[in-house]
Structure formats: structure tokens, C-alpha cells
Structure 1
Amino acid sequence: MNATVIIPAYDPEENLQRIVDRVWDLGNHVIVVDDGSDISKSDIFHRLSEKAIVIHHEKNEGKGAAIKTALKYIKENLWDCNVIGVMDADGQHLPEDMEKLVMKANNRENAMILGVRSIGEDMPLKSRLGNAITRFVFHSLSGVKVSDTQTGLRAFSYKLIDKLLQVEGTRYEYETNVLFYCAKTEVPIIEVPIKTIYHDKENSCSHFHAIRDSYRIYRDILKFSLSSFSSFILDYVLFCILTVLFPAGGVGILFANILARMISGGYNYFMNCRFVFQTGTKTQTALQYLTLAICILVMNSIFLQIYAGIFQIPVYMAKVLTEISLFVISFFVQKKIIFRHKVSGRGMIKE
């Protein structure tokens, strides 16, 4: 086995030398990517170059970009490499655990091996919350359960390089997008328990930016929410106008709701094709979306009549409650059926 371990590093501490030394002693090649670190860290990278290949980014481009830089280097220069590992530079991962993943990847050529942490009280609260949210969102969007979506300790076969270079993202979202890629293309995700070392309760050594990087990770669902919200605004405005133009009463409300829904539905389909799921308009998806739209329209009208008629809620407030009720149903049907990508039935494997 000829393995190479990638370590993206941004303003690393002195303990990176110990990590590189140990990974080297275990018989692995090491590539450290200096992702635009401060000039004061130059001496650290100079010493690392004695045992590691050090690649420099002139400016900070992000963890995903650093991993891609190393993957390109391996593809172009290390033809005898057959297994690749990725670990963080902050000392949270033990080189011995990296070795466990590398050995597992050597026996599972077409799998993504994840070193998963125990999600307990020892994990900083910020990390626990972030992991819980990401696990929920990832499972909702992909249909695959992963117990630690934010782990930076991974290993995989050289054969996956070309595919991983095509995965979008340059910062922390890249690692999440890799998992989405695995789920969509039937690459098994194998989990291996690891030890994780936290320097303090706040995990202050991490460069993860809560707002900026969370947006990158969750932007698909945010884009869907924006598309749905703008469609709702269009639908609501049209509904209000049409209820004035149509005769008063239940029949007028019904026709106003149907016409407004038809117009806003066309707008929503276009937005979801082009900007959310980025699948392009196709006859199959259009027919499936039309079927969903009809079902949602029927349910929309039923809900509206229940809220306005049975519960005597004012018609405009009833319209808001109806749209909120159907938002989640619409998202999951579109994500998992209409604009779906093929998802592996095997999913995640624990070992």
C-alpha cells in the first residue's frame, strides 16, 4: 500500500510538526497545503518540508480548495499512490486513527471512509449543535444517515480523485458536498469510530466561521426556502387581487386560489429548475411537477376551506397557514422524487 495523507493548514500551531512526524513514521507520504497562512508561520512550513511536500496558496482560499490542490498534485505527480487520507492540522485527530482509515480504504476501493467522533458531552456545545443540524439536513436532503457529517478525518481510493475534483465548493461546504456526491452516486460511506481531542470547551482552534460557513453548507435548503417564499408572495398578492375581482363567497375564493396557484406554480418550477436543484427543465420533471402542483392545489384548497370555513379564521390568515402547512411536503417531494439524483440503497455502513 502506498498512501498519501493531505493536511490543509491555515495559521497552524507548532504541534503540526508532531502530527506530520508521526504520520510519516507510520509509513505515509504527507502533503501539507499552506492555505495563505500569515508570514509568521513561514518557519513552521519550512521545517515541515523536511518530511512533507508543502504547497503554498498565496491567499486563503478555503479548506476545500486546499484539498483540491493536493488532489491535483497527487494526480499529476504521485502515480503510485493508491490510498489518500485527509486530516485536520489542529491536532484533533490522532495519526493512529488516520492510519486505521487508510488501512480500511485500502480494502474498500470504492468507498468513502469517515472517522466519526462520539457525539457526547465532551464535544463542545457549538460542535454538537452544528453536527445535529447538519445530520438532520443531510439526511433530509440525501436520504442517507451519517452520524458525523462534519468530521475532517477521511480516507478513500486514488480512483475517486477525478470525481472528487469535480465536487463543488472551496471551503467547509466542500466536505459536506463530498458526502452528497457519495450519496447520489452510490459510493458507500463507511464509518470508523475515532478518538477526538478538543483543546477547550469552545474548540477555539477551529477556523470554522459559524454564519458564513453554515450558509455554504445549508444553502440548498436556503435557496429552496427563498424560491418558495418568493412564490408564496406572488401567490398571495395574486390571491388578494383576484378575490377582489371575483364574486364574494366560497366559489370566488376557490377560483381565486386556483388561478393564483397556477401562475405562482409555473414561476416556482422555473426557479427550482434553474437556481435550486439546477437540473434544467425536462419533460419528465415538468410532468412530475405538474402532478405535484395539482395535488398541492387540491390540498391547498382543502386546507384553505378548513381554516376559513370550519375554524372561521380570516381568509388572508387562512391562506398563510395553508402555505406553511404545505411547504415541507412540497420540499421533500421535489428533492426526493422530482429533482432527485440516484441515491444508494446501501447508504452508510458502520464498522
Structure 2
Amino acid sequence: MDFSIILPAKDEEQGLAVTLPSLKKKYPRAEIIVVDDGSSDGTLVICEQHDVVVVSHPYSKGNGAAIKSGARAATTEYLVFMDADGQHDPRDVERLVAKLEEGYDLVVGARSGRHSQASFARWSANNFYNKLASWMVNRRIDDLTSGFRAVDRKKFLSFLYLLPNGFSYPTTSTMAFFRAGYSVGFVPIDVAQRLGKSHVSLLRDGVRFFLIIFKIGTLYSPLKVYFPTAFFMAGLGIANYVVANLSAGTLRFTNMSTLLILTGMIIFLIGLLSEQITNLQYKDSKDE
């Protein structure tokens, strides 16, 4: 199969020094693209030594921006995205590509168990994402946030406008493919300890945790998230009304009952509006 291997890299000379020789040896005919996202170490030197295509950013734009640059630069029919830090086994590339040949449009390398790169907090967050996304799409999602994935290039390019420049591009692309009705598959993989310094921060990841939760909903079916919340708030208002009247012996709405019921109604209407906006967002999605 005709495919490109894209590696976003920011100060990843250690990982690339190990990963690139292995990729070149195992896939000599593949187009290998390294997107240098404003590195200040020897990333470019390593790339020159192994004769790969390099796309350079003059400054760091983020992992998602690097992914988009790599996808635009690729010239093949299929794309394989993998980390440049040595976590991913190059031998798994052919397993993901083989899954594409079975008729899938997007194939994700699903990390099994608690992978070595993840702290307990990140592992717990990823499990929460997987369960929430699985509930949203009514299909089991083994790994929503894995950056190791293979995809049909034309279909991926049609969603490029949705992808953020930061680290949540895997979540966005996975939910977008499900929303558009494309076939998404998962292949179990193992990951190794990364080489070099991690670019993850606890504070930034904590904020990202909440943003990804909302993104999952807005990318697939907002009403599926908003409606239970609206129902819960309105239910609290009705419960407050019943309790207040039982204790006071009069039939009247308290300020709290009114506030809770109106809050539920507003949340429902916001969800309904978001649902319509989401439908418009995907209306013109098509292969380029």
C-alpha cells in the first residue's frame, strides 16, 4: 500500500535517532516526513543524516499544527501518524496499514493496559475519555487519544479545519470520523518508555481534560450530553418544589425551584442549538 509516515517532532533528537533508521530499513519505499515544530536541539541534523522529508516550522505551533503540516506535505494515498519519541514500535505500522486494507477509513493503535508513559492520573483520564466517547457513538472505543494511527489521506484532509493546533487532534479526528459515518478500527499495540523530555505539564493537561470532555460532545452529538444535564437540573427543581410544598403545606414555586427548572430548560435549548450547528459543520465535509 502506498503510504506516508508522519512524525511531529519538537526537540526529539534522541527518539528520532532510534526511530528513523528502523523505519527506513523496514519501509524503504514509504514516504517519511518529519515535521520539525520549532526544535532547538539536533532534530534537523538527525533528519538530514537519514535523508527524510522535513517540514520546518519557524516556531513551535503545537502537535496538531505539525500533524496538519505533515498531512498537507504528503503525496501518498494513506497516512500513518506516529510519535517521534521512540514510544511506538515501527513494526506496528504494517499492522495498522493492513487494517486499512480491510476497508477501514481510520485505524487507531490502541494502547493496552496502563502504558509506561502514563501516570495514574493520565491513565484514569484516558479511560474516562474512552467510556464517554463509547457512550456517545454507541460503539466501543479502545483508545480515543492515541497518536499512533493510519488514515485515508483525502478523508483526513476534509476534516483539517476542525483539528486544533494543540494536543487533542486524536480526539477530534476520531470523533469527526465517527460523526461522518466512516469506518474506524482499532489495533492493540504496546508502547515503550519515551526517549527525551516529555512536553506534558500537569496544569495544562488538567485544563485539557475538561476541554476534551466538552469537545467529545460537541463533535459528535451535543444533545446527548446536554439533555441528561438539562433533565437532571429540571428534576432537581421539581424535587425542590415537591419537598417545599410538603413541608409548607402550600402549592407554590420557590425561587430555587424556578431557578433550577429554568436552568434545565436553558441547557436543553443550548444543546438543541449546538446540535443544529454540529449538523451544519459536517454538511459540506467531502473528499478533496
Normalising by the smaller structure, the TM-score range is: 0.7 to 0.9
Cα distance, 1:21–1:331 mapped onto 2, change above 3 Å: farther
Can you give the 5+ residue segments of structure 2 that lack an aligned partner in the other structure?
Answer: 281-288
Question: 1: distance between equivalents of 2:137 and 2:206?
Answer: 18
Q: How does 1:239-318 map to 2 (within 5 A)?
A: 302-310=238-246, 315=254
Which residue number corresponds to residue 111 of structure 1? 105
Verify: 1:8 aligned to 2:8, yes or no: yes
Q: Per the alignment, in what secondary structure is the counterpart of residue 162 of structure 2?
A: coil
Deviation, structure 1 residue 219: 2.8
Q: Distance in 1 between matches of 2:37 and 2:210?
A: 24
The residue correspondences of 1:127-276 to structure 2 (distance < 5 A) are 127-199=122-194, 205-213=197-205, 215-216=207-208, 218-219=210-211
Report the CA distance shift for 1:60/1:189 in structure 2 as closer, same or farther (over 3 A): same
> Which amino acid in 2 is paired with 1:159?
K
Partner of 1:64: 64
Residue equivalent to 1:249: none
Q: Which has the larger radius of gyration?
A: 1
Q: Deviations over 1:155-202 (max 9, x none)?
A: 012332431323231111222110110121011210101111125xxx
Question: By how many angstroms is 1:215 displaced?
Answer: 3.8
Give the alignment partner of residue 37 of structure 1, picking from 28, 36, 39: 39
Change (3 A) 1:296 1:89: closer
When the two structures are aligned, how many residues end up with a matched partner?
266
Whether the 8 Å CA contact 1:86–1:153 is kept in 2: the answer is yes
Q: Distance in 2 between matches of 1:335 and 1:139?
A: 23
2:79 to 84, 93, 101: 84
Which residue matches 1:124? 119
Indicate how the Cα distance of structure 1 residues 118 and 340 shifts in structure 2: closer, same or farther if over 3 A, else same. Answer: same
* Alignment CA distance shift 1:143-1:213 (3 Å): farther
The alignment partner of 1:166 has SS state of: helix
- State the partner residue of 1:248: none
Q: Describe the shift of the 1:149–1:210 C-alpha distance in structure 2 as closer, same or farther (beyond 3 A).
A: farther
Structure 1 residues 80-101: Cα deviation after superposition (integer angstroms, max 9, x where no partner)? x222100001111100012211
Q: What CA distance in whole angstroms lies between the structure 1 residues aligned with 2:233 and 2:125?
A: 36
Is the aligned partner of 1:101 residue 2:96? yes
Inter-partner Cα distance in structure 1 for 2:244 and 2:3: 65
C-alpha separation in 1, matches of 2:271 and 2:54: 46
* Cα gap change, 1:331 to 1:218, in 2 (>3 Å): farther
Aligned amino acid, residue 303 of structure 1:
A
Secondary structure at the aligned position of 1:85 is classed as strand
CA distance 1:47–1:34, change in 2 (3 Å): same
| Post-superposition CA distance 1:48-77 (Å, at most 9, x none) | 4x2x11111111111111111011111xxx
**Amino acid across the alignment from 2:178:** A
Post-superposition CA distance 1:289-316 (Å, at most 9, x none): 9xx99x899857633312322367x945
2:131–2:141 Cα contact (<8 Å) kept: no
Q: Secondary structure at the match of 2:239?
A: helix
Q: In structure 2, do the counterparts of structure 1 residues 121 and 92 end up closer, same or farther at CA, with 3 Å as the change threshold?
A: closer
Shift of 1:153: 0.6
d(CA) in 2 for partners of 1:179, 1:331:
27
| 2:159–2:173 contact (8 Å) kept in structure 1 | yes
Kindly indicate whether the alpha-carbon contact (under 8 Å) linking 2:108 and 2:185 is maintained by their aligned counterparts in 1.
yes
Give the TM-score, by structure 2 length. Answer: 0.75
Contact 1:115 1:154 survives alignment (8 Å): yes
State how far apart, in whole Å, the 1-side matches of 2:261 and 2:210 are: 22
> In 1, distance between residues paired with 2:196 and 2:239?
48
Residue 41 of structure 1 deviates from its aligned partner by 4.0
User: Is contact 1:300–1:326 with CA below 8 Å preserved after alignment?
Assistant: no
Equivalent position SS for 2:21:
helix
TM-score, normalising length: structure 1:
0.63
